[in-house]
Chain A
Amino acid sequence: MTVTTASPSDPIARRGGVSAMLAGIRPLFKKDIREWRHGVRIWVVLVVTALFMCLAAANGWIQTWVIANVPEAAASADKVISMAPMDNLLIAAGSQIFVIAAIFASMSLLVSERDRGTLAWVASKPVSRTSIWISKFASATVVLWVVAGIVPIALTGIVLAVLYGAPSITGLVLIALGIGAAIALFVAVVLAASTLAPSQPAVAAIAFAVFFLPSILGAIVPFAIQPFFPTSILDWAAGLAIGANVGFVTPIAWLVAIVALAAFSARRMERLDL
């Protein structure tokens, strides 16, 4: 009897067709988008992110009001508070609350499906596992970009216009795009970690390690390494918004990271025993 080692992913690679690699992607994406619309998760993300960013944007105005109206606060005030719309927009975006929201909102996507058995059910159909991963990545990125990026930035823009004057539309758009890119990166990190880690806390731990790593390394290494981190994509977008010379290192690092995470995840997905 001839015994050969089976490797289910090989023929897909041999076929070489993108259609085989992306089998079932369209219905999977539609299903994943529908799944986001059920339940309260997107509303929680929307409310928390919008509230946090609007409050961060209003912080300068609130502090100025307090200093003007509370003598004790005026006496202890020791810093200059900017009332420029762009400065306060950057403060709101710099909180990176949307990254935390994206990590918490997406950490269950693959793990809970695997635990419930629905991942095995879908994977037993004529779809590719790469499609399953890409569909989850794309749907989570789109939904979270809308509810944790575009809508909160739009509301923040209104707050800025009311409190400080109309902000630059280009600046708002660039920051919204930067937020979208940051969300995409962390959704990819979470979903890649989900192909490795057995539980949601483990997935969240990996994602937060990636989130904090640049700050820790930046403090240790004696030269500016931040632009080389894909996680600096929002800083890059913010630099672009204020007209700084930001170069192309960061978006290239971001793109490489997304592609590498997708390739790693596709490989891991094919090897998962469900």
Chain B
Amino acid sequence: MPDQPAIATAGLTKHYPGVAALVDLTLVVPAGSIYGFLGPNGAGKSTTIKILAGLTRPTSGTAEVAGIPITAGADYRREVGYLAQEPRFYDWMTGRETLRFVTSLYPPERRSTDGAIADVLTRVGLADAADRTTGTYSGGMRQRLGIAQALVGRPTVLLLDEPVSSLDPIGRREVLELMHDLKGETTVFYSTHILDDVERVSDYVAILDQGKLVRAEPTAELLASFTKDRLRVGISGASDETATELAALPGVESVEQVEQGGDLRLYVLRVEPNGAKAVQAAVTQFAAERRLTVTENKQITLGLEDVFMRLVSQKEPAA
């Protein structure tokens, strides 16, 4: 079924004694996407992933992966590959033995051959260390083995709980590149509090705060919702009346002077939907007519970090 979402949750809720870890989470994760699950510490990200991995029972609500309900037990879990925040394996097994053990837990039609296991080990950069016991692995190697063991069952969905948070910059880049390579092959649903990573690799982003979903949409649209329809305009030689005159231009909804230094003033213009380009032209013409110098006339771009801070800290609605 091509339109079948990879993950669908409805009203997913988890209460621990005295704590509502997750409240009424309803989420649809499109198949084949890389979906970043963002939130500050304690937001409920790990709880959500543990519920989706079948490790924790929700207090209420439903969840499905590829149409199979979480209540289907082992049948559900064969569709899911899970990587814990700090993956631990049997330290007396080698990396290769770990993958052989994992694949033996799957039904015959899902098992990987030794050749396929070798390919996965090569893919995650562990081919040379495949026959070392995992007790000798570094944190980054364990993380990569964690991704490998999640892949050997050929899951519909990969659930990665903070896959890069404990890695050094090189390890982090390697894991992010690996996640990016998986696009189209499987659906990757991962939690993180590192905003740059989400912006770099995620097609979609959901923001969770205090157990509640704040926003969930394509990353580009989320960023655009905060940046489109706003212009940052710098005018040299502007006067106190300039703001009022700018507000009178066609397509401008409001003007706010945000900075002043000497005769240079900076304004943020909120414009009508899809009217940014026309307003930019009008501003240029306005300045030319008054012999003013335009130092800046561009759409405001916010990074995900700014958007996240606005959503989580200030609860500011999108434009």
* Contact between chains at A118 and B89 (CB < 8 Å): yes
Task: Choose one: A4, A24, A39, A271; the contact of B62 (CB below 8 Å).
Answer: A4
Question: With A6-B58, A6-B70 in contact, do A126 and B77 touch (Cβ < 8 Å)?
Answer: yes
Q: Count contacts on A: residues with CB < 8 A to the other chain.
A: 37
Residues on A with C-beta less than 8 A from B55 are 120, 123-124, 273-274
Q: How far, in whole Å, are A126 and B109 apart by their CA atoms in the complex?
A: 13
Q: Which of chain B's residues 48-101 have a Cβ closer than 8 Å to chain A? A: 50, 53-63, 69-75, 77-78, 80, 82, 84, 86-90, 92, 101
Q: Which of A9-17, A58-66, A174-182, A200-208 touches B?
A: A9-17
* A-B interface pairs (CB < 8 A), number: 109
Q: Which of chain B's residues 202-223 have a Cβ closer than 8 Å to chain A? A: none
The smallest beta-carbon distance between B99 and chain A, in angstroms, is: 12
* Contact between chains at B57 and A126 (CB < 8 Å): no
* Contact between chains at A8 and B73 (CB < 8 Å): yes
A75 interfacial contact with B, CB 8 Å: no
Q: How far, in whole Å, are A12 and B74 apart by their CA atoms in the complex?
A: 8
Residues on B with C-beta less than 8 A from A8 are 54, 57, 70-71, 73
Q: How far, in whole Å, are A9 and B75 apart by their CA atoms in the complex?
A: 12
* Contact between chains at A24 and B74 (CB < 8 Å): yes
The smallest beta-carbon distance between A266 and chain B, in angstroms, is: 13
Query: Can you list, as one digit per residue, whether each of A105-127 has a CB less than 8 Å from chain B (1) or not (0)?
Result: 00000000000111011111111
A38 interfacial contact with B, CB 8 Å: yes
Given pairs A3-B11, A125-B102, 8 additional interface contacts (CB within 8 A): A1-B10, A1-B26, A3-B60, A20-B74, A24-B105, A117-B88, A120-B55, A126-B78
Residues of A within 8 A of B (CB): 1-12, 20, 23-24, 27-28, 30-31, 35, 38-39, 116-118, 120-128, 271, 273-274
Q: List 20 A-B contacts (CB under 8 A).
A: A1-B11, A3-B62, A6-B57, A6-B58, A6-B62, A8-B73, A11-B71, A11-B73, A12-B74, A20-B75, A35-B92, A116-B88, A120-B55, A121-B89, A124-B77, A126-B74, A126-B153, A271-B57, A273-B55, A273-B56
